[in-house]
């Protein structure tokens, strides 16, 4: 079974659970796993359930919002601990060319703009795994990471849910189409956010480098002779 087929079946199973109380612990588990295993995109699950709630009244949206945020935060802490314990070189998904680039970029960004980057990276599946594991690997302060990742998880859950609600409202009489459109919009926005974050971070890094060069080239004040 390939990954696409598996994800399709997973979403079908999630929809079957939409009217059951089991959907909330399952949402927590999926969001947690997504924190360190990016092939499992929990954004699409939130969007799908938000569309279902809009069209059928189930599940309860505040419950999905809270469980998704809690699961995302837990997943981020697991990713941090994996990075702290084993590093990033042993993680298969981060040994690919794209994964190595993401880790290299994450290390540089954490050193310069840790808080904003941890929050922004939550919207990019491989990006958030690379950032969170890199944070653990480079010894980013755990308490600060816990706070920033909590903010990121809450914002990400709201963002994903709003995409699903908007898609469900726009295509109210076509719930299946609304799910497809919502997931596609979520993926597209994630790609756009990734590009924006990379561009802003690289621009800031270039400015910092120029400032450092200018400071080094500036004449230093001569030391005054001290009379004996």
Q: Where are the domains of the chain?
A: 22-207
Res. 204 pLDDT band, cuts 50 70 90: low
Q: Per-residue pLDDT tens for 105-163? A: 667 767 666 677 788 778 777 778 888 888 888 778 898 899 989 988 998 888 888 88
The yes-or-no verdict on residue 194 having pLDDT over 80 is: no
Distances (CA, A) of 75 to 81, 101, 120, 136: 10, 22, 16, 13
| Spatial separation of the C-alpha atoms in residues 181 and 22, rounded to whole Å | 26
Whats the size of the chain, residue-wise?
228
The arithmetic mean of pLDDT across residues 49-73, rounded, is 88
Res. 79 pLDDT band, cuts 50 70 90: very high
Contact 134, 109 (CB under 8 A): no
Res. 176 pLDDT band, cuts 50 70 90: low
Question: Which stretch of 17-26, 113-122, 186-195, 213-222 has the lowest confidence by average pLDDT?
Answer: 213-222
Q: Write down the mean pLDDT value for the chain.
A: 74
Distances (CA, A) of 191 to 56, 146, 205: 30, 25, 21
Which residue did the predictor score with more confidence, 128 or 6? Answer: 128
Q: Per-residue pLDDT tens for 56-66? A: 788 898 999 99
Encoded tokens for 165:
């609600």
User: For position 134, what pLDDT does the model report?
Assistant: 83
| Spatial separation of the C-alpha atoms in residues 129 and 78, rounded to whole Å | 10
Encoded tokens for 98:
């794209």
The yes-or-no verdict on residue 225 having pLDDT over 50 is: no
Question: How many DSSP H helices and E strands does the chain contain?
Answer: 8, 0
The yes-or-no verdict on residue 205 having pLDDT over 80 is: no
| Spatial separation of the C-alpha atoms in residues 80 and 129, rounded to whole Å | 9
The sign one gets for the Cα dihedral 78, 35, 27, 148 is positive
Encoded tokens for 224:
């005054």
| Spatial separation of the C-alpha atoms in residues 90 and 210, rounded to whole Å | 35
The arithmetic mean of pLDDT across residues 62-84, rounded, is 93
Cα 26 off chain centre by: 19
Encoded tokens for 142:
């755990």
φ/ψ of residue 161, rounded to 5: -65, -40
The yes-or-no verdict on residue 85 having pLDDT over 80 is: yes
Give percent of the chain above pLDDT 90: 15
């Amino acid at each position: 079974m390939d990954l696409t087929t598996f994800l399709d079946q997973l979403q079908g199973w999630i929809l079957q659970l939409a009217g059951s109380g089991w959907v909330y612990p399952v949402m927590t588990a999926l969001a947690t796993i997504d924190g360190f295993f990016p092939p499992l995109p929990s954004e699409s699950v939130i969007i799908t359930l938000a569309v279902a709630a809009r069209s059928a009244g189930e599940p309860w949206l505040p419950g999905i919002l809270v469980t998704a945020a809690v699961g995302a935060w837990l997943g981020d802490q697991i990713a941090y601990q994996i990075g702290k314990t084993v590093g990033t070189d042993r993680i298969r998904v981060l040994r690919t060319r794209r994964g190595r680039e993401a880790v290299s970029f994450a290390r540089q960004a954490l050193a310069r703009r840790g808080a904003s980057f941890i929050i922004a990276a939550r919207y990019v599946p491989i990006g958030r795994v690379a950032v969170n594991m890199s944070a653990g690997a480079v010894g980013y302060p755990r308490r600060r990471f816990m706070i920033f990742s909590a903010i990121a998880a809450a914002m990400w859950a709201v963002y994903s849910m709003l995409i699903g609600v908007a898609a469900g409202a726009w295509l109210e009489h076509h719930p299946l189409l609304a799910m497809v459109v919502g997931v596609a919009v979520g993926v597209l926005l994630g790609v756009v956010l990734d590009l924006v974050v990379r561009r802003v971070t690289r621009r800031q890094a270039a400015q910092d480098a120029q400032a450092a060069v200018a400071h080094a080239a500036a004449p230093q004040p001569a030391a005054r002779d001290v009379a004996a």
